[in-house]
Amino acid sequence: MSDAAVSQRVPEGALGRLWSKLEAHGSLIKSKQTLLLLATGLAGYLSARPESGTSLGARLMTLALFSAVSGTTALNMVFDRDIDARMVRTARRPLPSGTLSAREAARFGGVLVAAGLALAFWLSRPFGWVIAAGVGLDLCVYTLWLKRRTPWSIVFGGVSGGMPILAGRTLGTGGVDGLGLLLALSVLLWIPAHILTFAMKHADDYRLGGVPTWPAVHGFDSTRRFIAVSNALRAVSLVAAGWWLGICPWSLSLLAVSGVVTVCLSVRAVLRPSAQLNLLLFKLASLHMLASMVLLTLGAVF
């Protein structure tokens, strides 16, 4: 083999390893979940109709949220790497597969969280404190304390999931208000439909991982009832938030109709359960949350 061919192979190999590392770091942030939370944060910000708000302010807010949320997700993967290694579904993630070391992932997540919090506090102290509360609840309360001990851990995970929309609202208004808390509650009530349908689908995997999910501890029937109740309360909270915001009638009507559809499907799952309906509810949960944020935003702006 010629020296030229060898010299070509070396950078190609180096670039391949670099690309593999970048892909591995990118997978730590769970992009779909992060983007959905960013959509809630932007909806919260625009719901305030901030008179002094600018497109630059919205972009900086989104950047702060993205950095804090994605960094928190990466750190969660560091803490849960032993669980991921035991589950078939997650065994190929960067940490259990050995693509990244725990130190590399922790450094990546820590830098992102620190940068997000620094930017958040620079934009507004109340905004920064709300994001910091979300990070603390997620990492310390949900992941480190409760996740391996009780199925009720999803409640605290849900509270941290509601922090981005509360943070966006807080930045727009200058402080925490009742409407912001109601919006955060709607995200908390979304968590069971999103998490528990997934936990039912992968019940055996979670059992291998040693995670006490609601289906494993209380059974599938109880889980379906839990989802139906939370979906009903979520629909009410979203319509109440839309009414409180004074969004336009067509947006409020669509918000109500979409909520009724999700409630009807979840009630049907209680009465006539099936794996197909469970999968539909899982997919519909994220879609409904995203659509709700769009309807609240458009209804408030127009």
Q: Is residue 251 part of a domain?
A: yes
What's the confidence (pLDDT) of residue 22? 85
pLDDT at 16 (0 to 100): 67
CA distance 24 to 35: 18
Q: Check whether residue 79 and residue 153 sit in a common domain.
A: yes
| Cβ-Cβ contacts under 8 Å for 253 (sequence gap 6 or more) | none
Q: Quote the pLDDT of residue 194.
A: 93
CA separation (Å) from 162 to 100, 158, 234, 265?
30, 6, 12, 24
Is the pLDDT score of 91 beyond 60? yes
- Dig out the tokens for 104 from the structure: 């590399």
pLDDT of residue 192: 92
pLDDT mean over 13-31? 82
pLDDT of residue 5: 41
Residue 25, pLDDT > 60, answer yes
- Does residue 19 lie in a domain region? no
Q: Are residues 35 and 154 in the same domain?
A: yes
What angle in degrees, to the nearest 10, is found between the helix axes of 220-245 and 178-188? 150
- Burial per residue of 33-57, b for 16 or more beta-carbon CB atoms within 10 angstroms, e otherwise: ebebbbbbbbbbbbbbebeeeeeeb
Rounded to whole angstroms, the Cα distance separating 68 from 34 reads 10
- Say what the pTM is: 0.91
Q: How far apart are CA 168 and CA 76, in angstroms?
A: 23
Residue 127: count other Cβ atoms within 10 Å of its Cβ: 27
Shared domain check, 159 and 222? no
Q: Are residues 162 and 204 in the same domain?
A: no
Domain count within the chain? 2
Residue 3 falls inside a structural domain: no
Task: Pick the closest to residue 73 from 28, 36, 25, 16 (CA basis).
Answer: 28
What residues have CB less than 8 Å from 60, skipping those under 6 apart? 119, 123
Verify that 163 and 280 share a domain, yes or no. Answer: no
Q: Is the pLDDT of residue 9 over 80?
A: no
Residue 179 falls inside a structural domain: no
The answer to the question of residue 104 being in a domain is: yes
Residues 56 and 195 in one domain: no
Which pLDDT band holds residue 4 (cuts at 50, 70, 90)?
very low
Mean pLDDT is lowest, of 12-21, 25-34, 67-76, for 12-21
CATH code at 35? Answer: 1.10.357.140
Domain boundary residue among 148, 173, 198? 173
Range of the domain at 61: 25-173
pLDDT of residue 201: 93
Looking at the structure, do residues 208 and 158 belong to the same domain, yes or no? Answer: no
> Is 20 inside any structural domain?
no
Of the pLDDT bands very low, low, confident and very high (cuts 50, 70, 90), residue 1 is: very low
pLDDT digits (tens, 9 = 90+) for 216-262: 999 999 999 999 999 999 999 999 999 999 999 999 999 999 999 99
Looking at the structure, do residues 249 and 151 belong to the same domain, yes or no?
Answer: no
Among the ranges given (7-11, 62-66, 177-181, 250-254), the one the predictor scored with the smallest mean pLDDT: 7-11
Looking at 126, 148, 173, the residue that finishes a domain is 173
Half-sphere exposure of 219 (CA within 13 A, CB side): 5
In a domain, 182, yes or no: no
Last residue of a domain, one of 118, 138, 173: 173
Say yes or no to pLDDT of 57 above 90.
no
The verdict on residue 67 lying in a domain is yes
In this structure, the answer to whether residues 33 and 159 fall within a common structural domain is: yes
pLDDT tier at 267, thresholds 50, 70, 90: very high
